[in-house]
Amino acid sequence: MNLLLDSNALVWFLEGAPELSETAADLIEKEDSRSLVSSVTSWELAVKTGLGRLRIPYGLGEEFNSTIESIGLELLPLSPAALARTTRLPRHHRDPFDRLLAAEALEQSASLVSPNEIFDSYGVKRVW
């Protein structure tokens, strides 16, 4: 199963936080799951950190990439196809990060790991 983690799910997974649902944690840890972290997520975390809305105990450059890869998650560059798909999505939501993640989930045929119900309106399969 292909999974695409949104920013909240990723941070909660890395921190072992109780906010991450048990279902989501189990799916991410399954050996037959392919867990993806988008470059869009890195960008969103950097923006939120820069605005002082988020504090994380790791850097967002190479340290972040190494951390992600060392625990078996796969970094996903933003594809031109996902960018193009973003322009065709309905205007349910204005958050550019969420719109890009929805497009990437659709392009990757991935289930989006997120507590955010707005993704359901894009036809994205969401797990939580």
Residue 52: which CATH number?
Answer: 3.40.50.1010
Range from 13-27, 54-68, 71-85, 106-120 carrying the lowest mean pLDDT: 54-68
Is the pLDDT at 57 greater than 80? The verdict is: no
The whole-angstrom separation of Cα 79 and Cα 49 is 24
For 38, phi and psi rounded to 5 degrees?
Answer: -80, 150
Q: How confident is the model at residue 6 (pLDDT cuts 50, 70, 90)?
A: very high
pLDDT on residue 7: 93
pLDDT on residue 63: 79
Q: What is the pLDDT of residues 77-126, one digit of tens each?
A: 999 999 999 999 998 888 999 999 999 999 999 999 999 999 999 999 99
How open is the CA angle 63-22-125, to the nearest 5 degrees? Answer: 85
Cβ partners under 8 Å of residue 34, min gap 6: 1, 2, 3, 74
Place of tokens 């990439």: 65
Is the pLDDT at 60 greater than 80? The verdict is: no
Q: How many domains does the chain contain in total? A: 1
Q: How confident is the model at residue 16 (pLDDT cuts 50, 70, 90)?
A: very high
The whole-angstrom separation of Cα 74 and Cα 80 is 18
Q: How many residues does the chain have?
A: 128
Residue span of the structural domain in which 53 resides: 2-127
